[in-house]
Every structure is written in structure tokens, then in C-alpha cells.
Structure 1
Amino acid sequence: MPRIAGTEIPDNKPNRIALTYIYGIGPKFSMDICNELGLDPQQRAKELNEDQLAAIANLLEAKYVIEGALRRQVQQDIARLRDIRSYRGDRHRRGLPVRGQRTQTNARTRKGRKKTVAGKKSVKGMK
């Protein structure tokens, strides 16, 4: 498996797909990289030679924020929102959806498993 920017990219995938395995590189950026370096987006990653791998690594280092630096930047942004006590920071702190999604139903990914709350017990025979 070729290794670019500290990330293993799969051999048997086309270049345009294989580059998206790098955190911070999506489909658009992977196509931009292929076009800029003159790589065939359909060529398999295992067919890349050392010069091409080095060119990709140099371009990523020069032009894009990826992997650890990007993860750190995202965490710092979230920490800043928490520190300034913004609404979004509060939602991050509570583990609730941040971008305005509904929470009365759904939102289970952010909220976690259901926490069953005991209901009000009715007494039979009272009128």
C-alpha cells in the first residue's frame, strides 16, 4: 500500500478514490490534485511510481491542511466556541446537534442510546 502524508491509501482503488482516504481530502480536492499533477484519476494507486507519490506528498504539504493539523484545528475551533460560551459551543458541550437539527425525535447519533424515564403511574379505581 502506498503511504502518503502518513496515511495508507488502498492499492486497488482509482487515484481519485484512494486520495479521499486522507483526512481533509474529499472528491473535489482529489480531482484537483489529479488534474494539477497530470495524473489519470482512473489509474490504480498501486500503479503510481515513487516520483508521483513524492509529487502528491509535496503538493499536499504545500497547499492543503490535512490529517493531524486539520484535526487539531477543528478541535481548537470547537474549544474556542466552548470558551466564548456561544450557543454552538453549548451544544457541543451537551453533546446535542449543533446545526439546527430537530431533537424531539431522531438525533440519536449525537444524544446516544435512549434513556428511559419512568412515566407517571396511574391509580386504578379512582374517579
Structure 2
Amino acid sequence: MVFILGVNFPERSLVKKSLENFFGIGPATSARLMARFYIHPTCKVAQLANKQVLDLTAALSEMRIENDLRRKVLDDIKRMRETGSNRGRRHALGLPVRGQRSQNNINTAIKLNRVDRKL
């Protein structure tokens, strides 16, 4: 097991997929991090040197990921609701926010925005 930011990853998993397990890190960010520390895209976690693990941990600790990012997103939604913007109202009602059709495709938005209405 290899620990990155206090999370242990199996040794046979790919580094790219392990990085993408963190909230706020997608394929592009993980590829950029791997290129920055000269890690091959098919490299497994067990093949990383200790220095690479420490460098990855240091880089991830500087980024806004996991709980910090979740808190920021919720604060942004709360701010939009308080100012009464159109996006804030649609968040509060559980409707699609980014211009999707609401006649047919509203069911998914209602499922996803249900948590936000209780704030």
C-alpha cells in the first residue's frame, strides 16, 4: 500500500486512476501532474519512487481538492441563492441550471439538486 495524502492505494492500480479518485482532479489535471513529475501514463503505484510519492503529495497539498473544493462549491451556490440570481433560484428549485431543457430532461436535475434545496 502506498499512501498519498493519507489515502492508501493498492500497489497494482495505475497512478492516473489513483489521482483521479480525489475530488477535483480529472483526467487533464492528473495527466498534467504526471507529466510534471515524469511519471509514465501506464505506471503503477508500486513502481513510484519515494521521492515521486513525496513530490505528488506536496503538489496535491497545495491544490484545492476534496473538502476545500466541496466547501467552495457549496459556498458559491449559497452566495448565488442569497443574491437572488437566476442560477441561484434554479438551484433552490432543483431545476437545470445551465440552460438544459426542462420539459423532458428535468428528472436528473431534480435528483441531483435535491440536496441543495435543503440548505
TM-score of the superposed pair, with normalisation by structure 1: 0.77
Please report how far the alpha carbon of residue 103 of structure 1 lies from its aligned counterpart in structure 2 after TM superposition: 1.1
**Quick one: which amino acid aligns to residue 73 of structure 1?**
K
For 2:115, the equivalent position in structure 1 comes to none
Report which of the two has the higher share of helix.
2
1:94 corresponds to 2:93: yes
Please report how far the alpha carbon of residue 57 of structure 1 lies from its aligned counterpart in structure 2 after TM superposition: 0.9
For 2:48, the equivalent position in structure 1 comes to 48
1:19 corresponds to 2:19: yes
Distance 2:53 2:101 in 1: 44
For 2:57, the equivalent position in structure 1 comes to 57
Please list, as runs of the form range in 1=range in 2, the aligned pairs for 1:1-127 lying within 5 A after superposition.
1-62=1-62, 64-112=63-111
**Quick one: which amino acid aligns to residue 69 of structure 1?**
D
Q: Structure 1: 5+ residue runs without aligned partners?
A: 113-127
Distance 1:9 1:69 in 2: 21
Q: Secondary structure at the match of 2:17?
A: helix
Please report how far the alpha carbon of residue 46 of structure 1 lies from its aligned counterpart in structure 2 after TM superposition: 2.9
**Quick one: which amino acid aligns to residue 79 of structure 1?**
K
Please report how far the alpha carbon of residue 11 of structure 1 lies from its aligned counterpart in structure 2 after TM superposition: 3.8
TM-superposition CA deviations, 1:35-64 (whole Å, max 9, x none): 1111122111233243322210101122x2
**Quick one: which amino acid aligns to residue 99 of structure 1?**
R
Please report how far the alpha carbon of residue 13 of structure 1 lies from its aligned counterpart in structure 2 after TM superposition: 2.8
Larger Rg: 1
Distance 2:50 2:102 in 1: 50
Q: Secondary structure at the match of 1:3?
A: strand
Distance 2:51 2:86 in 1: 48
**Quick one: which amino acid aligns to residue 50 of structure 1?**
N
Q: Secondary structure at the match of 1:24?
A: coil
Of residues 45-54 and 103-112 in structure 1, the stretch that sits farther from structure 2 once superposed is 45-54
**Quick one: which amino acid aligns to residue 37 of structure 2?**
L
Aligned residues: 111
RMSD over aligned Cα, in angstroms? 1.7
